[in-house]
Structure 1
């Protein structure tokens, strides 16, 4: 096989609110961190150990606005996308590096009851980050969540 694949799927909790940036051409970008946990029992001490990894999430345009509107710190979310690496010069002159997940799909996993919301904003949905009318219609239509399992599909 001669092709390559750059795909990441994460289920985690938001570590902060969605931070939005708007551009002159009408585009927007949203950024937020997601925490994923690995829990295991240490064989030598018998105590449970939890390791948390933080991931920098980037969503664009309509998907970013949907995330800003409906996601809050602590909410559980499934994201799917591509890894992108960035580098830039810091204020101190040192080169900085960052790895981000550029989202192509997402699903809200926190139920209305869990988040304490008063509307259907956190019901499961899977809009694309592209500006297709299908994604917009799907995201804005009220959707009821039929089951309580944590699976994104």
Structure 2
């Protein structure tokens, strides 16, 4: 059975591929695909994975740092949403978002997952994975498909 780590890593890779695509095509459509992938991912991580880690005092600082990085990504995404594709800062803002996400993923897959595996059993990691997948299904139903 898949653990939360397997799922999150797969999603990180998918988002990384989408960033490669948006840097090639510079399209709003690709950016919206990134947003559609990131929103439930970050919300699910915070609600299910990070909340579990926060129960361990030694991980609370790590978790609050990760949440700050999510907030930074949301803020940059929000700026991008208010821009037009051809805007002079469009590409540099996309690169800023990509760098922010890349940095977060690197820390998460390295430090966060490593420490989490020491305090969360494999069974619990699999339970969180199931809850996460359920959460994402309901998240998609509640969120309008288009933001135009």
Q: Shorter-chain TM-score: which interval?
A: under 0.3
TM-score w.r.t. length of structure 1: 0.23
Using structure 2 for the length normalisation, give the TM-score: 0.23
Higher Rg of the two aligned structures: 1
More strand by share: 1
**Which of the two has greater helix per residue?**
2
Q: Identify the structure with bigger relative contact order (alpha carbons < 8 Å, sequence gap 6+).
A: 2
